[in-house]
Amino acid sequence: MALRFSLRQLEYFHAVAEHGSIAGAADEINVSSPSISAAISQLEMEFGVQVFVRKHAQGLSLTPAGTQLLAQARQVLAHARRLGTLAHEVTHEVRGPLNVGCLLTFAQIVLPQLRRRFVDAYPDVTFRQFEMSQTGLFEGVRNASLDVALTYDLNIPGDLRFQPLATLPPYVLVGAVHPLARARTVNARMLADHPMVLLDLPASSEYFLSLFKRTGQTPRIIERTRDIAVMQSLVGNGFGYSLANIQPAPTHSPDGKRLHSVQLTGPLRPLHMGLLHIAKAKPTLTVRTFMAQCARDIGTAHKPEKTSRRNKTPT
C-alpha cells in the first residue's frame, strides 16, 4: 500500500495538536496557516477520519481517533529524527534539530546564553527550546520530544539519567528594607516568624518546604506564585522573603526594587543543576556536543565560590 502522506504533514499535525490552533502552529514552525490547514485536510482524507474538532472560540481539540493517530505520529517523527541524526553521526557533522527542555525556575537565566553560544558555533543546528515543569521535562525526554533537558536533581526517575553540572545551595531572597537584609546568615528558625512568598512550582516548592521540616519549623506563607518575576517583585515590595538556589547578575526585581540574598544555614540539602536524558540511549553527536558546552559553561559560571557571594538575586 503506497503512503500518500508525508513527514511534513505529520509535523504540521503534531504542531497543531501541541498548540491547539492552526495559528499557533503557524507561528511556531513559521509556515502559513493555509498550508497547515491544507496538510491537515489531506491527512484526514488519507486516514478517512476527522482528527480535530473545530471550535471557533476555543481553537481545535483532538478527536478520539486524532489522539490515537497523534501517538503514532510522534513515534514516526521520533524515528525520522533518529535517521537524520544517524546520518550526521556517520558524517561527523553537528547539525539537524536539537530540542532542549529547561526547568521553568531558571530557564530565563541559563538557557538563552547557552543557546546563543551553541548556534553561533554550529549554525546548521535547528535549536528549539521548551520551558517546562519537572514533570513535563520527564515526559518530554521519555517520549523523545526533547533530546536533553536542563533541570535540578529533584525526584529523578530510574529510567532517566541525570548528569550533575553545578551545586547550588539555597539562599534567602529579601527586599532592601527587610529586617534580615543586612544579615550575614539566617536559619529556618529565624525565618519562621517572617512572612514568606513561596515559589510554588511542582517539586521546587516541596524542596523549599523541606528545608523547614528538617528543623521542625513551619513557614508563614502569605503568598504563592508560579511566576519567578512575580515572586521577585513581591519580595522587592516588602511582602515577604522567598527561597531560591541560582543567582543571576541583576540585583533588582522586574519593577526596579532592590533585592538582597542572604546565606541560609542549617541542615540543608543543596540542589544540583544538570542534564537529563534517557538512561539506556546513547546521545547523538549534536546532543553530546551541546552537553559538553553545558558542562563547560554551567560548571564555570556556577562554581560554589561564586554562588556564595551576597547581594545577588537568586532564583
Domain count for the chain: 3
Give residue for cell 524515528.
Answer: 79
33-67 burial, b if ≥16 CB within 10 A, otherwise e? eeebeebbeebbeeeeeebbeeeeeebbebeeebe
Write the pLDDT tens digit of every residue in 54-84. Answer: 776 667 888 988 898 888 888 888 777 777 6
Cell 489531506 found at = 42
> What CA dihedral angle connects 15, 16, 21 and 25, to 10 degrees?
30
User: What is the domain-level CATH number for residue 286?
Assistant: 3.40.190.10
pLDDT band at 91 (very low <50, low <70, confident <90, very high): low
The verdict on 125 and 210 lying in the same domain is: no
Specify whether 158 is located in the same domain as 11.
no
- Give the residue, 195 or 301, on which the prediction is more confident: 195
Residues 154 and 197 in one domain: no
- Residue 132 belongs to a domain: yes
Copy the grid coordinates of residue 136.
513535563
Give me the chain's average pLDDT, please: 85
Higher pLDDT, 286 or 246: 286
**Could you list the residue range(s) of the whole structural domain that residue 183 is in?**
168-269
Q: Quick one: 56 and 182 in the same domain?
A: no
**Residue 115 falls within a domain, yes or no?**
yes
Give CA–CA dist 263/182, Å, rounded.
Answer: 11
Residue pLDDT, tens place only, 178-190:
999 999 999 999 9
In the predicted model, what is the mean pLDDT of residues 14-39? Answer: 86
Residue 278 domain-assigned? Answer: yes
State the Cα–Cα distance between residues 87 and 90, nearest whole angstrom: 5
- 228, 104: one domain: no
Are residue 113 and residue 61 in the same domain, yes or no? no
Q: Are 308 and 239 in contact (CB under 8 A)?
A: no
CA 106 to chain CA centroid, Å, is: 8
What global pTM score does this model have?
A: 0.67
pLDDT at residue 235 greater than cutoff 80: yes
User: What is the DSSP-derived secondary structure letter of residue 301?
Assistant: H
Examine the domain organization and report whether 185 and 214 are in the same domain.
yes
Neighbours of 297 (CB within 10 A): 16
The rounded radius of gyration (Å) of the Cα atoms in the chain is: 23
* Pair 147, 288 in one domain: yes
CB 214 within 8 A of CB 242: no
Query: Are residues 141 and 283 both part of a single domain?
Result: yes
